[in-house]
Amino acid sequence: MDHHNTVRLNRRLFLSSVAMFTVTATSAGLARSFSGSLPWAPMSANPPMRVVPGGWQFFSPQEAALVEAIVDRLVPADDLSVGGKEAGCAVYIDSQLTGAFGTSSRLYTQGPFLPGLPTQGYQDEANPAQRYRAGLAAIDAFLKQRDGKTFIQLQPAEQDAFLTDMEAGKVELPDGVKAAGFFGLLLQNTMEGFFADPVYGGNKDMVSWRMLGFPGARYDYRDHVSKHNQPYPRPPVSIEGSPEWRVKRS
């Protein structure tokens, strides 16, 4: 065998041995043995912690009262469901603003900050927590100057008219707060709080799910998917599970 072929053979042997070492090392590092039990434990998926109402985490008492008044106009109580306040929408928003959503910690926020198209959504620097702090203060400052009242002191019809003007961008809020943009944030978060899983603080007693006939996090409801215009016969279930599913320990 000439020198050229010898080099080629040795190179192949070297590469194959490296590949074998890599596979063996990786397999040894990742391999786990299970015997007599399943490779998981209940609640090992690290589910979210239940938000328990009682005390505000982000809002001041004044801010909380304002948010509760706003969500009650965005989702007014009627014969189908409770209003946004009773459903816990403000509790949901308060909790979200203390986490990753409030700080935008999971988003790229380093700029440059340039005007975007309406379809591109929010493009400015302030995170949701900062927007709420500035926006709520701007609402009360504007109304006190215009009407001598806070939002809470307005009549329901006056509150609706103000929110309608905010949505249309007809209100010039102080400190550069964009009324339409802040209204959109309030509306989006209120809807989330009303329809999200109750583990996050809103949708108290799954009121919106019961109203819609939504089964929630039930693992299987295929028998009812094709039954159009028929109410679902079972109550909804949170991602926390149903009380009757929990194993009773002796």
Mean pLDDT of the chain, nearest integer: 84
Q: What digits encode the pLDDT tens for the residues 136-148?
A: 999 999 999 999 9
Q: What digits encode the pLDDT tens for the residues 214-227?
A: 999 888 878 888 98
Q: What digits encode the pLDDT tens for the residues 179-236?
A: 999 999 999 999 999 999 999 999 999 999 999 989 998 888 788 889 888 888 888 9
DSSP label of 248: P
Exposure string over 116-133, b if 16+ CB within 10 A, otherwise e: eeeeeebebebbbbebbb
Residue 34: which pLDDT band, with cuts at 50, 70 and 90?
A: low
Helix (H) or strand (E) holding 200: none
Q: Specify the pLDDT at position 50.
A: 83
Whether the predicted pLDDT of 91 surpasses 60: yes
Q: Specify the pLDDT at position 127.
A: 96
Whether the predicted pLDDT of 122 surpasses 80: yes
Whether the predicted pLDDT of 250 surpasses 90: no
Rounded to the nearest 5°, which phi and psi values hold at 172? Answer: -100, 90
Per-residue DSSP letters for 10-62?
A: HHHHHHHHHHHHHHHHHHHHH-----SS-S--TTTT-PPPPPPPSS-SSS-HH
Q: Specify the pLDDT at position 44.
A: 60
- CA gap 193, 53 in Å, rounded: 13
**Considering the chain, what percentage of its residues have pLDDT values greater than 70?**
78
